Every structure is written in structure tokens, then in C-alpha cells.
Structure 1
């Protein structure tokens, strides 16, 4: 059985106790093993209560986020870099306090379309800052999973190969790649080959369709993706991510250009996604087994 997670925005963009409780219960009831939250403000959320509920339901948890413009660690303004470092440190503490081990998302630069190309100074500032943050994360038992996103959401890491170069420059063992099939479908020459090439440094994976809706109803070749995941021996989480105007987050929905209503029934959507991923991975395993079997004649 595959380890499958779900992004909480499938359930709600709210962070009230009721919203969080509903998201946790739905995640558990549908057989998901991990819930991913976009960054939650500890000043507005009872973190101890939430950690307890996550544990009660036997779930794992991941936190994802994108750095804001005033926290862009690739900035030439060191005050902005310092603010970004503080933001990342607080996110690491949240992951730790919730009992998780994965911080994911756009952690290397501001999330959003940029109007200028990345500079060498920007790259170096980001690497230097994240290297220090990685030390804090390691002490907290947290990995930093750098999301590789399309050109309209970052001017820094758009391909897995760029992510590998960045990780190399940090020299940190707990800095890994966060791959997302939606973004890879836009930027990679071949998604399956990119997964195989980056295999040793992948820490987290988002499974999302080309239009962010029901899996299998867009243009992504999930068969090739599942084949690649089986080939590299992937045994960590595959987290389903989907967005629709049915559920709106003021910040993320604008930055990710969620203009279309791709689903209304989130229960049906989430049930379908879990089954789609499980069947896709099982099919890929069966194919791999057939390739390995010699089927020699019987004497």
C-alpha cells in the first residue's frame, strides 16, 4: 500500500478549531495517512490541541508555505533576508510542535511571479540563509523540502536539476526536493526522467493534475510518473493537492491563479484521488514485476 496524504485545502482554507477538526476527521475517514497544512499561525491556532488530535487519529503531518516578498531570502536587502530566516525558523518550530518532520514549499525565495531574473547574488544570499536555517531544522528533526515550481511562481527553482544544484551548494543533508507533478508538467523536459535523475534527493511529492482538478482528467502522464516512482523505490508520501474556487484562500488562491470551479464535492474528489494513486502505484508495481520476470520454459 502506498503512503498517501492530502492537502487540507481540499477540505477548507479556514483555521478555526471546527475547520481543523473537520479536515482531520475527513482525512482519517477516507484512509489518508498524512494531512498537509499551509502555514498555520500559532497565535491563532491551538498548536498543542492540534498536535494531540493528529496523534489521536494516527496521522502524520506536513507543513507547506511560500515566503512573502518581505521575507525573500534571495533579496539583496539583508533586513528582508533576516525576516525570511525568522519566518522559516518559526515554521520549523511549528512542524516540530505538531509532531511532524517535513517543512515543504517555496522556501528559497518569495512565492509569486517576479519581474526580474534571478542574480548570482540572490542565489548566494538564499543559499547562505537556508544553510543556517537547515542547521536549526536538523536540531528540530525537520527536513526542508524545496518545492520546484513553475516560472510564474518563482524565478529561482523551476526544475529538479536546479533544485539539485541548490542543495549541493547548501551542503546540508536535510535539504531535499519537494516535487509537484503540476509544476513538473510545465517545466520538465520529461517528468519521469527528472524523477529518476533526482531520486536520491527527493523528500516530498505532490500529486496534482494539470488543471488542479480530478486526477486523470487532465494532460499529465501519471502512468509514466508512477512507473518512475516504483523504479526509484519511492516509499514515502504522495500527497494529493487540488484547488477549486469552491474553497478560496485569499493569499494562495491569487498567487496560484485559481480562477475555475473544478469541483464542488470534495469528498468525492478526495476518495477518487486516493483510489487513483493507489491503483496507479499498484499497476506500476505489477508492470515492473512483469519486466523482471524471465518466464523461462518449463522442462
Structure 2
């Protein structure tokens, strides 16, 4: 398993669960100095100017790109893959597809989280899941050309009413025929939705492609009541070799949050 830390470049998401904010070069340098293997970037869009600088920044700091988030599609543009308006759904799919292309240039996956949306009003759960499944299957296949996959994230019940658990995520991907998509196991969401997090991870063997390494409080590891030892043991049991990426609030500040994360990673994994 490898370590990663999040960098948000989206001003509209200020206050969200990202360790570093802005200054892609400076944040990447700070991550490298602490010993992280990679960064996970949340750009304002797939054509963001910062992404043009990313290749040299990663090379200068000997970092990899763990993943690229699509959350700005919702935060900035209110696009979701389950919106009742077909034109909006089409724009959402195009936004994610372009992000897949941007991430794919680095051999990295894109993440669908908040852009999945929710069902309600004039859209039934079955219809919303159908639209979402079609999009995830198509976009996953689009990622295949880059030698990577698409990441789909089950969220807690307060953020979506579509898919909330790892087991439901496995069933969703299987039902959609999304052969080149994997699940993001976010320990914050799992703390809310799973009866037993290690058991849920073991049940998701083969389907988990990314992990958000964060405590129950959405602060960095060690700032809540999560027992990480059995969780990392479960990840080892299923042969997980991807990233443990800190999508966490910068508590008490970015420097301290990043340091707490890398120290927890070294203690539990290495």
C-alpha cells in the first residue's frame, strides 16, 4: 500500500476535507518532504491551468498522481449524472470524461463522488441508478485506453441516497456491467454506514481500488475513534496494493494534518 495526500484547487470547496489547499507546487513539495508517495488532486475542471504544470511538479518532487477528483463538476457547475434534465446529465458525463482524459495522461484514475447525485422528486431510485450505472460503465471503459480504471465512491446517507455501503457498491457495479470501475472505500463514510468496517473491506475484495484514509471525525488519522489496525489488516488480507489517501480536514492546519497522516501510515503499514 502506498501513501497519498489530497490537494484541492477549488476555491468554492473551501472548508471541505482536503489536507492542502491551492499552491499545487508548494503543496506537492511539502508532501514530498514528509515522504508521501503521491498526491490526489481536485482541480476546478479538467482543463485547469494547474494540470498543465502537474507533470513537471510531480517529476521535480518524485511523486506519483494517485487520482483526480471530479467534485468541482458539482460544486462549481451543479452537474450530476442523475439530474432529471438530459442535457445536464450529458454535460456531467462530458465533464467526467474530460477528467478521465486529464488523469489518464498520468496513468491515474478519476473519481466519481458527489457528481453521482441522488434520486427524488420526479426521478425514481431505479431510474437514477440506471442512469448512473450507464455512465459509470461507459466512463470506466473510456479509462481503459489509459491503462487505468474509473473510481466510484459510495457516500454516506447525508450526501447521497443511491449507494452507501461497499456491499451495495459491489452490487451496483456488477449490475451495471461496469467491468473497468472500482470502488473507493472512504473510511469516513464507512464509519457512518458500515456495521463493521474490516468485514466490509473483506467483503469488497477485488472491487476496492482506492481508499480514503481518514478518521471518524473527518480529521486526519488519530483525531477520532477509528481503530485503524484491524482496517489495515483487512486491506492486507484482500491484497490491496493501492493508495491510502488522506481526504481529511486540515486539522489543526495542513502541515499538522499531513504529518499526522504520514506518521499513522508508517506506524500501521510500514
What TM-score, normalized by structure 2, do the two folds share?
0.86
3-state SS, counterpart of residue 199 of structure 1: coil
3-state SS, counterpart of residue 71 of structure 1: coil
2:70 aligns with 65
State the Cα distance separating 1:70 from its structure 2 match. Answer: 4.3
Q: How does 1:112-191 map to 2 (within 5 A)?
A: 119-191=125-197
Whole-Å separation in 2 of the counterparts to 1:136 and 1:124: 18
Q: Evaluate the alpha carbon distance shift between residue 107 and residue 139 of structure 1 in structure 2; reply closer, same or farther with a 3 A threshold.
A: farther
State the Cα distance separating 1:44 from its structure 2 match. Answer: 4.0
Q: How does 1:1-299 map to 2 (within 5 A)?
A: 2-9=1-8, 10=18, 12-14=20-22, 19-61=23-65, 62-66=67-71, 67-68=73-74, 70-97=78-105, 99-106=106-113, 109-110=116-117, 119-244=125-250, 262-264=251-253, 266-282=254-270
Whose Rg is larger? 1
Q: Evaluate the alpha carbon distance shift between residue 43 and residue 217 of structure 1 in structure 2; reply closer, same or farther with a 3 A threshold.
A: closer
Q: Evaluate the alpha carbon distance shift between residue 115 and residue 152 of structure 1 in structure 2; reply closer, same or farther with a 3 A threshold.
A: farther
Whole-Å separation in 1 of the counterparts to 2:115 and 2:171: 13
Q: Evaluate the alpha carbon distance shift between residue 75 and residue 43 of structure 1 in structure 2; reply closer, same or farther with a 3 A threshold.
A: closer
State the Cα distance separating 1:11 from its structure 2 match. Answer: 5.2
Whole-Å separation in 2 of the counterparts to 1:191 and 1:7: 22
Q: Are the aligned partners of 2:19 and 2:246 in contact in 1 as well (CA < 8 Å)?
A: no
Whole-Å separation in 2 of the counterparts to 1:240 and 1:178: 12
Whole-Å separation in 1 of the counterparts to 2:252 and 2:239: 33
| Structure 2 gap ranges (5+) | 9-17
Q: Are the aligned partners of 1:206 and 1:241 in contact in 2 as well (CA < 8 Å)?
A: yes
Say which is worse superposed, 99-108 or 190-199, in terms of deviation. Answer: 99-108
State the Cα distance separating 1:43 from its structure 2 match. Answer: 4.4
Q: Are the aligned partners of 1:151 and 1:158 in contact in 2 as well (CA < 8 Å)?
A: yes
Q: Are the aligned partners of 1:108 and 1:146 in contact in 2 as well (CA < 8 Å)?
A: no
1:290 aligns with none
Give the RMSD, CA atoms, in angstroms. Answer: 2.2
Q: Evaluate the alpha carbon distance shift between residue 190 and residue 29 of structure 1 in structure 2; reply closer, same or farther with a 3 A threshold.
A: same
3-state SS, counterpart of residue 173 of structure 1: coil
| Structure 1 gap ranges (5+) | 245-261, 283-299
State the Cα distance separating 1:268 from its structure 2 match. Answer: 2.8
3-state SS, counterpart of residue 49 of structure 2: coil
3-state SS, counterpart of residue 8 of structure 1: strand
State the Cα distance separating 1:281 from its structure 2 match. Answer: 2.5
3-state SS, counterpart of residue 21 of structure 2: coil
Whole-Å separation in 1 of the counterparts to 2:244 and 2:60: 22
State the Cα distance separating 1:194 from its structure 2 match. Answer: 0.4
Whole-Å separation in 2 of the counterparts to 1:273 and 1:211: 14
Moved segments of 4+, more than 4 Å? 113-118
Aligned length: 256
Q: Are the aligned partners of 1:177 and 1:203 in contact in 2 as well (CA < 8 Å)?
A: yes
